[in-house]
Amino acid sequence: MTIHRRDFMKTSGCAAAALAISRGAHGATAATSKGPSSSQSTETGFIAIEEHLIVPSQQEHVVDSHPLEVKRELLVHYGEQRLADMDEAGIRIAVLSAFSEGLQAMDATYDLSNLDPKQVRARQTEAAVRWNDELHGIVQAHHERFRGFATLPMTAPDAAAAELRRCVEDLGFVGALLNGFDSSVNGTPNYYLAPEYDVLWAECVRLDRPLYIHPRLAAPDPFYSLPNCGALRESPWGFHESTARLVLALIVNGVFQRFPKLKIVLGHMGEIIPFWAWRIDHRLRHGARPELAMVQSTLAQNVFVTVSGFNNTPALQHLIAVMGADRVLYATDYPMEDATAAATWFDGATGELGLSPEAAAGIRAGNAGRLLGI
């Protein structure tokens, strides 16, 4: 069931508007009650699609950070602890993916000092195959509860398309996850704008599987050298700002015009873009480049958005008003976020916003099931 802006505003009504006003910009509330029961999680629970781990071959190739230091133990738990946390949070199926920055930052996580660009591409392709094979084994060990997103060697477009094909057709993966721009060759950000990447976009369309574009550490910027601003470079701001830049670059450079059936997924309520789309198009139309004013139309046709790590009810209200409930998906950002707190928040938010049972069920699982073929 599709809920568009006008329908959503009717169903949410005055109570939702009053909620947004009363909570203001600080609408998230801490969840303290326990999540759904394990029986609910295995029968009618959530499909959560931004759930992270570190595969064995990745363990020595991650960017050090405080969140990683705190959560490393959970990131390398593939069985009982993860399943128990899923049960407590009411998650029926988790789509697993390699922890950020994945293979998109090999310049920071591998010794590439003696390799030329061609050798870097070969090294990344070999690593992607190995990581995906390991993820496949983890998924198969609990195949009723896990699915997988492929890691792709984005420095080599032909190899990325071939690896996506292998992972979907041979390993049963439900798509792929990119950790932002790729800096593996000489540390230079690659935003995938070269014509050579058309082979990958075409393969996504042929397979009818989405690309999840996930954040990574923002590129160096003088802003992050200002007092206290280095703390913003990761998940508070830089992750999302840099992901928005990547997606906007793809949009205004015509990727979705050339491939109108290409589907991408953005986490964290859309990585800023749904909240700023009107303004971007508005100013492009009133400036010198009105032909580039296609952010809103791309959101409507090509983009799905998850609620991962963003337990804020007014933000969800706005997201549904912009995107429609049928383009909103569930995710928790486990283990970086508390999956049980996310479930408790979401169940409360659906009532506070007056979502219909059909719309709520779609966000919980139905929309992801249709998109990913689960």
Q: How far is CA 240 from the centre of its chain?
A: 11
Degrees to nearest 5, angle at CA 47 with 278 and 149? 80
Instruction: Find, among 264, 263, 300, the residue nearest to 281 by Cα.
Output: 300
**Alpha carbons 93 and 107: distance in angstroms, whole number:** 33
**Alpha carbons 349 and 186: distance in angstroms, whole number:** 45
Q: Which tokens belong to 202?
A: 């075409």
CB 229 within 8 A of CB 222: no
CB 305 within 8 A of CB 266: yes
Report the 3 state secondary structure along 168-211.
HHCCCCCCEEEECCECCCCCCCECCCCHHHHHHHHHHHHHCCCE
CB 102 within 8 A of CB 160: no
- Count the alpha carbons within 13 Å of 120 in the hemisphere toward its beta carbon: 24
Report CA-CA distances (Å) from 200 to 99, 118, 130, 255, 292: 22, 19, 20, 11, 23
Residue positions annotated with a catalytic role: 333
Q: Taking the alpha carbons of 142, 146, 151, 157 in that order, is the dihedral positive or negative?
A: positive
Q: Taking the alpha carbons of 244, 200, 131, 307 in that order, is the dihedral positive or negative?
A: positive
**Alpha carbons 257 and 271: distance in angstroms, whole number:** 21
**In 3-state terms, what secondary structure has residue 19?**
helix
CB 374 within 8 A of CB 147: yes
**Alpha carbons 257 and 239: distance in angstroms, whole number:** 26
**Alpha carbons 264 and 243: distance in angstroms, whole number:** 12
